[in-house]
Amino acid sequence: ETGVTQSPTHLIKTRGQQVTLRCSSQSGHNTVSWYQQALGQGPQFIFQYYREEENGRGNFPPRFSGLQFPNYSSELNVNALELDDSALYLCASSLDGQGAGELFFGEGSRLTVL
Partner 1 sequence: KQEVTQIPAALSVPEGENLVLNCSFTDSAIYNLQWFRQDPGKGLTSLLLIQSSQREQTSGRLNASLDKSSGRSTLYIAASQPGDSATYLCAVGHAGNNRKLIWGLGTSLAVNP
Q: Which residues bind partner 1 (CB under 8 A)?
A: 4, 6, 33, 40-45, 48, 55-56, 58, 88, 90, 92, 97-100, 102-108, 110
Task: Kindly report the length of the chain.
Answer: 114
d(CA 31, CA 99): 9
CA distances from 112 to 19, 54, 80 (A): 11, 26, 14
Select 20 or 37, whichever has its Cβ closest to partner 1: 37
CB 71 within 8 A of CB 64: no
- Burial of residue 32 (CB within 10 Å: 0-12, 13-18, 19+) is buried
Select 82 or 96, whichever has its Cβ closest to partner 1: 96
Select 10 or 63, whichever has its Cβ closest to partner 1: 10
CB of 101 to partner 1, least distance (A): 8
CB of 16 to partner 1, least distance (A): 26
CB of 45 to partner 1, least distance (A): 4
